[in-house]
Amino acid sequence: MTTVFVLNGPNLNLLGTRNPEVYGTTTLADVEKLCGEVAGGLGLTVDFRQSNHEGQLVDWLHEAGAEVAAGRSIGAVVNAGAYTHTSVALHDAIEGASVPVIEVHISNVHRREEFRHHSYLSPVARGIVVGFGVHGYALAIQGLHRLVQE
Active site residues: 23, 105
DSSP H helices in the chain? 20-23, 28-41, 54-69, 88-97, 135-149
Tell me: is residue 92 an annotated ligand-binding position: yes
- Between the two ends of the chain, the Cα-to-Cα distance in Å is 19
CB 45 within 8 A of CB 105: no
* Number of neighbours of residue 137 by Cβ within 10 angstroms: 26
Longest dimension (CA), the chain: 41
Tell me: is residue 107 an annotated ligand-binding position: yes
Tell me: is residue 118 an annotated ligand-binding position: no
Tell me: is residue 116 an annotated ligand-binding position: yes
Tell me: is residue 53 an annotated ligand-binding position: no
Tell me: is residue 47 an annotated ligand-binding position: no
What residues are designated binding site for substrate? 79, 85, 92, 106-107, 116
Q: Which residues are annotated as a binding site?
A: 79, 85, 92, 106-107, 116
